[in-house]
């Protein structure tokens, strides 16, 4: 099973949703970077369950333990291991459908591939696996902030059909964290909360879009062929649970423009080469051009819902499934730190690769 990601900045996540714990081992982090447990915990707190009335009520503190790779507030250059113990697992909630394939889950496909699956909360297919990614992303955040002054910020731009109006160039962390939706547009955030609560009451769920901006990314990151920066970002985002789509810059809307309308003209500003517009989303020819990298990730509605659904069991017999357990009626608010983490991991890896190539 592939549980590793990255080349020079490489991580391997471990653990299952209802096992003893989950975590990550990060290899390739340079030495002498300032890093604290609090910095890792800050991002984990934004991902954890039970943080608001529109997220799953599973009550996990998600307290991180750093097992290796850190000494006196600095990285050692050795593998950094982070563990988060599961404390509120309730496997009994899944016993009634351990032999039933849940619609739009990984139950059937996992069993088809391995011949066995952990039916307790989905095992490795659970979004709880992303704890390791978010912890590793916090380490990558420290690396990029200290070595390259890069900032990565994501927010909820759409829930269902409710669209926010947000300027990627000026949006702030304070504005994003100002609502439990993590939508910095107050008008849209209020409507999103009402719609998510309505879906929860109906035993249903909603999907939407997370948008992300990466500021201060230097030109030159990425490769021109198979390791294009946007291709690695897409791979990273589509590896997240419930993700279904990725677009960068103008994305699919760019297909409605002509070449002269879409092209980003080059200009010189205080001796620096830049582009007058940013329809490329900060990446041209697979390589960063120094502009803000702006992309969007689509997430499907949460697969586990309380409404009765038709499915089959392991014997191929038709059954009616009424799911139990504690689940998000909308994954978007908690997906924000996950999107940030994966972007940070891609950028940290490409930054180290570029530094090694040009040193």
Q: Residue 337 and residue 332: Cα distance in Å, rounded?
A: 10
Where do the domains of the chain lie, and which CATH numbers do they carry? 4-358 (3.60.150.10)
pLDDT value of position 5? 98
pLDDT at 326 over 90: no
Highest mean pLDDT among 82-91, 131-140, 311-320: 131-140
pLDDT value of position 187? 98
Q: Which residues contact 326 (CB under 8 A, 6 or more apart)?
A: 49, 56, 57, 58, 90, 93
Q: Which residues contact 1 (CB under 8 A, 6 or more apart)?
A: 114, 124
Q: What is the pTM of this model?
A: 0.96
Any idea of the CA torsion for 155, 160, 166, 168, to the nearest 10 degrees?
Answer: 50
Bridge partners, 154 (sequence order): 212
Q: Over pLDDT 90: what percentage of the chain?
A: 84
Q: Which residues contact 11 (CB under 8 A, 6 or more apart)?
A: 4, 5, 24, 25, 26, 27, 132, 133, 136, 345
**Tally: H helices and E strands in the chain:** 8, 18
Q: What is the mean pLDDT of residues 248-262?
A: 98
The 10s digit of each residue's pLDDT in 31-44 is 999 999 999 999 99
pLDDT at 83 over 80: yes
Using an 8 Å Cβ cutoff, are 278 and 264 in contact? yes
pLDDT value of position 107? 92
At CA 242, angle to CA 131 and CA 62, rounded to 5? 20
pLDDT at 156 over 80: yes
The 10s digit of each residue's pLDDT in 204-247 is 999 999 999 999 999 999 999 999 999 999 999 999 999 999 99
pLDDT at 89 over 80: no
pLDDT value of position 2? 82
Q: What is the mean pLDDT of residues 90-102?
A: 79
pLDDT at 93 over 90: no
pLDDT value of position 359? 66
Q: Which of 352, 304, 356 is nearest to 150 (CA)?
A: 352
Q: Over pLDDT 70: what percentage of the chain?
A: 97
Q: What is the mean pLDDT of residues 73-84?
A: 98
């Amino acid at each position: 099973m592939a549980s590793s990601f990255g080349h020079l900045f490489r991580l391997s996540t471990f653990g299952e949703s209802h096992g003893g714990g989950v975590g990550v081992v990060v290899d390739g982090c340079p030495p002498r970077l300032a890093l604290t447990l609090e910095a890792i915990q800050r991002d984990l707190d934004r991902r954890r369950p039970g943080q608001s009335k529109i997220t799953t009520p599973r009550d996990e503190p998600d307290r991180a333990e750093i097992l290796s790779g850190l000494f006196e507030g600095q990285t050692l250059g050795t593998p950094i291991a982070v563990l988060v113990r599961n404390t509120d697992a309730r496997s009994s909630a899944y016993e009634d459908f351990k032999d039933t394939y849940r619609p739009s889950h990984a139950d059937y496909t996992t069993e088809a591939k391995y011949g066995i699956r952990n039916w307790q909360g989905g095992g490795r297919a659970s979004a709880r696996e992303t704890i390791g990614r978010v912890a590793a992303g916090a380490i990558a955040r420290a690396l990029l902030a200290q070595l390259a002054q890069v900032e990565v910020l994501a927010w909820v731009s759409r829930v269902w059909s409710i669209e926010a109006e947000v300027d990627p160039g000026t949006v702030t962390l304070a504005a994003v964290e100002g609502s439990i939706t993590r939508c910095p547009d107050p008008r849209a955030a209020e409507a999103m909360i009402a719609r998510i609560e309505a879906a929860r009451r109906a035993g249903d769920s909603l999907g939407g879009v997370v948008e992300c901006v990466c500021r201060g990314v230097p030109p030159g990151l990425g490769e021109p062929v198979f390791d294009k920066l946007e291709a690695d970002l897409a791979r990273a985002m589509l590896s997240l649970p419930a993700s279904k789509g990725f677009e960068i810059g103008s994305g699919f809307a760019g297909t409605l423009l002509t070449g002269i309308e879409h092209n980003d003209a080059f200009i010189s500003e205080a001796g620096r080469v830049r582009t007058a517009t940013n329809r490329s989303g900060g990446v041209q020819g697979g390589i960063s051009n120094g502009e803000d990298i702006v992309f969007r990730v689509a997430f499907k509605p949460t697969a586990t819902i309380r409404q009765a659904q038709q499915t089959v069991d392991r014997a191929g017999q038709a059954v009616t499934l009424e799911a139990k357990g504690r689940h998000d009626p909308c994954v978007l608010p908690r997906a924000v730190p996950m999107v940030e983490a994966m972007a940070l991991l891609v950028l940290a890896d490409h930054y180290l690769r570029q530094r090694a190539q040009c040193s």
